[in-house]
Amino acid sequence: MKIAVVGATGMVGQVMLKSLEERNFPVSELIPVASEKSVGKKIVFKGKEYDVVSMQSAIGKKPEIALFSAGGGTSLEWAPKFAEVGTFVIDNSSAWRMDPDKKLVVPEINAEVLREQDKIIANPNCSTIQLVMVLNPLHQKYKLKRVVVSTYQSVTGTGKAALDQLNAEIAGNENAAKVYPYQIFKNALPQCDVFDENDYTKEELKLMRESKKIMNDYSFEITATAVRVPVQGGHSESVNIEFENDFDLDEVRKMLSEAPGVTVADDVKNKIYPMPLYSEGKDDVFVGRIRRDFSQPKTLNCWIVADNLRKGAATNTVQIAEYLVKNFGLE
């Protein structure tokens, strides 16, 4: 089982390698791939050193699966070339997500849509993944009518340079290189990604569009505001959910606690609720502050937190790869 990790030296690529190792994924040969300037660097995986190679070298090795986390432009150029030699590409960028011919997959929700001919598979946006992990089981029971989500997103969602900016500002370095248009330390920026249609950011549009595609349901409405906060451990979301049918709070908590990959942390008497500080390094999606919205009927409030580099990116990608191995004879 030859596995290529494209973007192996980046933040998500490093977590992908960690996830492959932790989940004991059946890798016989690792092919770490990065930009030309990183070719020849060493990557350690399961105690063994591997040389970082170029895209062309990796394609020549014809890996069974390639995990991509190297940006949309790289993916648009190179994913089809891997697919041409028979490699399954699981791409973590936004390049293919809304392509009508590509599947957008969260394994706990819709892995069954995958077919052997799906050589390029899209991994959803980090904030979308944690949202739909909670929305989907509730939708099956109560039917979504409208969702309002406000996000509080970690700087790690932007990458290493953003984390460097935050740490430099914490250290008092006023001349630090800036990834964001403003200081992020002691601040909150109501802008994740660039502004696009109707003054929404691309991040907000991803939440709104990808959720419907993953759940294969366009009957409900969804709106979003995405905010960058000076946090490292994970993304948080305040979510208001209006249903077609009424619900029982105890039943909601029970359903979510039984949903694969979801952990309910909801005991306000003991001040137990999800926080990015405690989600960091974990694969589950955490949900708490579950309560009825008394301003209108059939409406629920909740708070969702997940490590955006784990379930929001690397772990979900590896889970898709595990599904391919199990169902398409790659063992």
CB 235 within 8 A of CB 131: no
What average pLDDT score do residues 34-48 get? 91
Q: Which of 266, 267, 271, 252 is nearest to 303 (CA)?
A: 266
Q: Which of 201, 204, 210, 205 is nearest to 135 (CA)?
A: 210
pLDDT over threshold 90, residue 174: no
302 labelled catalytic = no
Paired with 288 in beta bridges are: 303
Least confident of 173-182, 246-255, 262-271, 304-313: 173-182
- Residue 320 makes CB contacts below 8 A (sequence gap 6+) with 90, 105, 107, 111, 114, 121, 123
pLDDT over threshold 70, residue 331: no
**Beta pairing class for 285-292 and 299-306:** antiparallel
What average pLDDT score do residues 114-128 get? 97
Q: Give the integer Cα–Cα distance in Å for 304 and 320.
A: 22
Paired with 195 in beta bridges are: 201
Could you tell me the pLDDT band of residue 233, with boundaries at 50, 70 and 90? confident
pLDDT over threshold 80, residue 7: yes
CB 225 within 8 A of CB 198: no
- The predicted pLDDT at position 176 comes to 86
Share of the chain above pLDDT 70, in %: 100
Average pLDDT of the chain to the nearest whole number: 96
What average pLDDT score do residues 117-131 get? 98
Give the position of tokens 């409406």: 299
- The predicted pLDDT at position 287 comes to 98
192 labelled catalytic = no
Give the position of tokens 């691309």: 202
Query: In the numeric block, which tokens belong to residue 252?
Result: 């909601």
pLDDT over threshold 70, residue 55: yes
What average pLDDT score do residues 10-22 get? 95
Among 126, 139, 192, 302, which one carries the catalytic annotation? 126
Name the amino acid, one letter, at 148. Answer: V
pLDDT over threshold 90, residue 38: no
Among 139, 192, 235, 302, which one carries the catalytic annotation? 235
What average pLDDT score do residues 299-327 get? 97
pLDDT over threshold 70, residue 211: yes
Instruction: Show the domains of the chain with their CATH numbers.
Output: 2-124+313-327 (3.40.50.720), 127-308 (3.30.360.10)
- Residue 158 makes CB contacts below 8 A (sequence gap 6+) with 179, 180, 228
Name the amino acid, one letter, at 95. Answer: A
What average pLDDT score do residues 73-93 get? 97
Signed CA dihedral, 43, 39, 37, 1: sign only: negative
- Residue 150 makes CB contacts below 8 A (sequence gap 6+) with 224, 225, 226, 227, 237, 238, 239
CB 302 within 8 A of CB 4: no
Least confident of 159-163, 262-266, 287-291: 159-163
What are residue 53's phi and psi, to 5 degrees?
A: -120, 170
Instruction: Say how many C-beta atoms besides its own lie within 10 A of residue 212's C-beta.
Output: 17
Q: Give the integer Cα–Cα distance in Å for 102 and 164.
A: 34
CB 258 within 8 A of CB 315: no
